[in-house]
């Protein structure tokens, strides 16, 4: 029986120091039927094409700069595999990553995304000893229908998921969101699809103390909950009770974040919040 094709989408932008190691980690997978798609999101210097050409199964595409969501959507449209994975240009796959996840998707037909924990490495590929993912007491909350326990609270760790391509027939990344596009995507994905958590590191996440990483600029996340809620409406969620619960949860999370990360003393009484969570979730950036 032939192996199903897996498409691994690597997005890159003006960062050449790690991408070859990233591609090697894909090429060294124990699972062999893989196409690598490198999407260069408008880098000023063409470094990625030469590196991509070193690998027989790697295709290089250049596009005008549009952000990570735009680059991932572009790669999805080019992908030919029935399964799709993402890998940032500085992270790594462990050798058995794809093999483990494909086996789960072949066995569990009701699962549309398999994710896992990840080991943290530094700029020299050294393990730091940190594992990102679920704590032992929460692993049971990371599989199945996770929508309500995940909403506004957690998302899949970036270098770990493998998806069925049907996920992207339903939803794509919101290209208007430049920071937190993954948070928005996963919250919407959880609404529609069951997922499965592997409680072992299958990837390596690089923490190289880059203060310019968008994910470390907390202030840029202000108002993200408003975008997420708007996208649920655009998706066609109409049940008023469901929308109320989504708005309330996102408003609570947004208010808490502003208090913790931005020292904003948002004095919102519980009765006002519960009376009209729609107002607060859509106006978090005004406080």
Tens of pLDDT, residues 111-158: 999 999 999 999 999 999 999 997 888 899 999 999 999 999 999 999
Give the pLDDT score at 214.
47
Closest residue by Cα to residue 57 from 88, 72, 79 = 79
What is the rounded CA–CA span in Å between residue 203 and residue 2? 25
pLDDT band at 279 (very low <50, low <70, confident <90, very high): very high
Is the pLDDT score of 3 beyond 70? yes
Chain segment 146-167, per-residue pLDDT in tens? 999 999 999 999 999 999 999 9
Q: Are 79 and 165 in contact (CB under 8 A)?
A: yes
- In this structure, whether the domain defined by 6-216 belongs to CATH 3.40.220.10 is answered with no
What pLDDT is stored for residue 217 in this prediction? 58
Provide CB contacts within 8 A for 13, sequence distance 6+: 40, 41, 42, 43, 65, 71, 89
How many other CB atoms sit within 10 Å of the CB of residue 144?
14
Average pLDDT, the chain: 92
Report the length, in residues, of the chain.
Answer: 287
State the pLDDT at residue 34: 98
Q: What is the pTM of this model?
A: 0.93
Write phi, then psi, for 35 (nearest 5 degrees). Answer: -110, 135
Strands 111-121 and 194-206, by their bridges, are: parallel
* 3-class SS string, the chain: CCCCCEEEEEEECCCCCCHHHHHHHHHCCCCCCEEEEEEECCCCCCCHHHHHCCCCCEEEEECCCCCHHHHHHHHHHHCCCCEEEEEECCCEECCCHHHHHHHHHHHCCCEEEEEEEEEEECCCCCEEEEEECCCHHHHHHCCECCHHHHCCCCCCCCCCCEEECHHHHHCCCCCCCCCCHHHHHHHHHHHHCEEEEEEEEEEEEECCCCCCCHHHCHHHHCCHHHHHHHHHHHCCCCCHHHHHHHHHHHHHHHHHHHHHHHCCCCCCCHHHHHHCHHHHHHCHHHC
For 208, phi then psi, to 5°, come to -105, 25
Mean pLDDT of 63-76: 97
Do residues 251 and 280 lie in contact, with contact meaning Cβ atoms separated by under 8 Å? yes
Residue 286, exposed/middle/buried by CB under 10 A (0-12, 13-18, 19+)?
A: exposed
Residue ranges of the chain that CATH labels 3.90.550.10 = 6-216
Please state whether beta strands 34-40 and 6-12 pair in parallel, antiparallel, or not at all (unpaired): parallel
User: What would the pLDDT profile of 199-249 be if each residue is shown by its tens digit?
Assistant: 999 999 999 765 555 445 566 677 799 999 999 999 999 999 999 999 999
């Amino acid at each position: 029986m032939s192996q199903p094709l897996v498409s691994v989408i690597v997005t890159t932008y003006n960062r050449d120091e790690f991408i070859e190691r990233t591609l090697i980690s894909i090429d060294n997978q124990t699972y062999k039927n893989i196409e690598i798609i490198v999407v260069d999101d408008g880098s000023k210097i063409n470094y990625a094409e030469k590196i991509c050409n070193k690998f027989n199964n790697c295709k290089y595409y250049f596009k005008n700069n549009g952000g990570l969501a735009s680059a991932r959507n572009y790669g999805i449209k080019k992908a030919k595999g029935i399964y799709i994975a993402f890998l940032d240009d500085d992270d790594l796959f462990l050798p058995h990553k794809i093999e483990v996840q494909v086996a789960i998707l072949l066995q569990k037909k009701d699962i549309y995304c398999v994710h896992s924990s990840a080991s943290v490495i530094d700029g020299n590929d050294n393990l730091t000893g940190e594992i990102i993912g679920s704590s032992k007491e929460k692993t049971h909350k990371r599989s199945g229908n996770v929508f309500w326990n995940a909403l506004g609270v957690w998302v899949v760790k970036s270098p770990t998921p493998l998806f069925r391509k049907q996920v992207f027939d339903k939803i794509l990344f919101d290209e208007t969101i430049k920071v937190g596009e993954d948070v928005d995507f996963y919250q919407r994905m959880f609404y529609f699809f069951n997922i499965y958590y592997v409680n072992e590191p299958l990837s390596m996440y690089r923490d190289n103390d880059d203060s310019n990483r968008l994910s470390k600029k907390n202030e840029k996340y202000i108002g993200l909950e408003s975008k997420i809620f708007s996208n649920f409406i655009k998706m066609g969620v109409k049940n008023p009770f469901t929308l109320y619960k989504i708005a309330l949860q996102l408003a609570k999370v947004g208010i808490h974040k502003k208090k913790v990360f931005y020292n904003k003393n948002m004095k919102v009484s519980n009765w006002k919040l519960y009376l009209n969570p729609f107002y607060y979730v859509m106006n978090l950036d005004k406080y």
